[in-house]
Amino acid sequence: MDASIVILIVSFLLLLALNVPVAVGICLATFVTISVTLGSAEIAAKIIAQKMATGINSFSLLAIPFFILSGLLMGRGGIAGRLIEFASALVGRFKGGLGYVNVLTCMLFGAISGSAAAAVSSIGGFMIPEMNRKGYNNEFNVAVTTTAATTGLLIPPSNIMIVYALVSGGTVSIATLFIAGILPGILFGFSLMAVIRFTARARDYGSEESASLAQIWKSFRRAFLSLLMIVVVLGGILRGVFTPTEAAAVSVAYAFVLSVIVYRKVRTKDLPEILLQSGITTSVVFLLIGTSMAMSWILAIENIPQTVSTALLNISDNKFVILLLINLILLCAGAFMDMTPAVLIFTPIFWPAAKAFGMDPVHFGIMLIANLCIGLCTPPVGTCLFVGCGVGKTTLAKVTPKLIPFYYALGVSLLLITYIPAISLAIPRLLGLN
């Protein structure tokens, strides 16, 4: 292995061990590596600054701050309660019904907001106490919410899909990725519901009262305007009314009208705080993108993608074995890294090997994101897991054992997504997008 790559890996891991923020760690590790390689700290600083600037200079990335703002408005705008009411009317009557309600609401909310962390805090803030009150185990409730929230990153809109489309070099359209994530996201949700079904039977978790058709219709009408967001965003993109970036801007306008004017849950005096939080979140994401692009440059210069691809192909010429190895590595990486830098770093490393077996870039992107979704609810760095523990007022050590059955379910779903391309590609091909 080249000395510069050793310096990059060692310095990055050391900085992570010292609890340095990931974006700062990526930047410093890249700076040290380029400085040593070229023998000039000044040149290294100029290269990093240039790569960071060009890395975020993309029209498609404008969709990210819009979707972040839209998600915050939705999270504060009373959307969650209406979706919970609708989901409860649909599936609450089954045994373990509140667990199903939790998962279905997270899927719907994720499809509207595109944020897993927002789903945990918004849905979990209501569902976890309610499930506790009905006799469900608190840690089980946190596990359900934490894992269910990740479905929103596969079901569109999804910021991480925009990032993947960027790093793919234009070979994949955002619209195609959005549509490709629908079935995998639903598969994740159904697999979690299967675990809830067996757990509910084993622990005798009860069901809610059956809702009449009139009650279902009433709850649907209350949630209709919220659900219409999915139709507006995806329908507008598919019909060519607007681009994904323009769709993100439309989603902000729609969320503003719904939250401030229609539902009146967000007051005008709350808007500065929401805008500030949106700006902070956006700056973190863009800093990660910029520094990761600088790291990707040094990886490309040192031919790391080609080296890793060759090494994997030397291990085996069996497609199933190689994809399994890639999945295992991504699952491990997802347990320690945030999704954005992981996508930016590992896409150029593993894509050449996947491409050698004729894998579709859309299919690879969905597989990559599905892996990293699991990482969001995996210790020690899982963002959703920590948010869920905070909402449920419990500890990581208590929740982790309850998560194990859900890990198995998500793992099986991941294997199905990996080895059955049609799960990701059927709808895009049906619509003529792939």
The region of weakest confidence among 74-83, 260-269, 359-368, 407-416 is: 74-83
Look over the chain and give the mean of its residue pLDDT values, rounded to a whole number: 86
| Lowest mean pLDDT, pick from 49-53, 74-78, 178-182 | 74-78
Share of the chain above pLDDT 70, in %: 98
Indicate if the pLDDT at residue 206 is higher than 60.
Answer: yes
Average pLDDT over residues 416-421: 95
Res 114: pLDDT: 64
Cα distance between residue 187 and residue 176, in whole Å: 18
Mean pLDDT along residues 57-63:
81
pLDDT computed for residue 129 by the predictor: 87
Please say if the pLDDT value at position 380 is more than 80: no
Which three-class secondary structure state does DSSP give residue 322? helix
Q: Which band of pLDDT confidence, cut at 50, 70 and 90, is reported for residue 183?
A: very high
Q: What is the pLDDT of residues 272-305, one digit of tens each?
A: 999 998 888 888 888 888 888 888 888 878 777 7
Position 77 scores a pLDDT of: 80
Q: What is the pLDDT of residue 65?
A: 87
Amino acid identity of 339?
Answer: M
Cβ partners under 8 Å of residue 156, min gap 6: 111, 114, 177, 178, 179, 181, 182, 233, 234
Q: What is the dihedral of CA 240, 246, 251, 254, to 10 degrees?
A: -90
Q: How confident is the model at residue 368 (pLDDT cuts 50, 70, 90)?
A: very high
Query: What token pair was written down for 136?
Result: 């469900």
| pLDDT band at 434; cut points 50, 70, 90 | low
Instruction: Please compute the mean of the pLDDT values over residues 209-232 and round it to a whole number.
Output: 85
- Long-range contacts of range 125-128, CB-CB < 8 Å, 24 or more positions apart? 125/80, 125/391, 126/80, 126/81, 126/84, 127/84, 127/98, 127/101, 127/102, 128/391, 128/392
Q: What's the pLDDT tens digit per position in 190-200?
A: 999 999 999 98
Tokens 């491409």 belong to residue:
355
237 with 175: CB under 8 angstroms? yes
- Name the pLDDT band for 324 (thresholds 50, 70, 90): very high
Q: Rounding to the nearest 10 degrees, give the CA dihedral for residues 317, 319, 320, 322.
A: 70
* pTM of the predicted protein model: 0.86
Rounded Cα distance between 130 and 364, Å, is 38
Confidence at residue 407, expressed as pLDDT on a 0 to 100 scale: 94
- Residue that has been written with the tokens 């009411």 in this structure: 85
Across 73-77, 177-181, 326-330, least confident range: 73-77
Q: CA-CA distance, 148 to 139, in Å (whole number)?
A: 14
DSSP-derived letter for residue 337 is S
Burial class, 336, CB count within 10 angstroms (exposed 0-12 / middle 13-18 / buried 19+): middle
Which is higher by pLDDT, 383 or 51?
Answer: 51
Give the residue from 52, 60, 130 showing the smallest Cα distance to 97: 130
Q: Where are the domains of the chain?
A: 1-55+291-301, 56-266+302-430
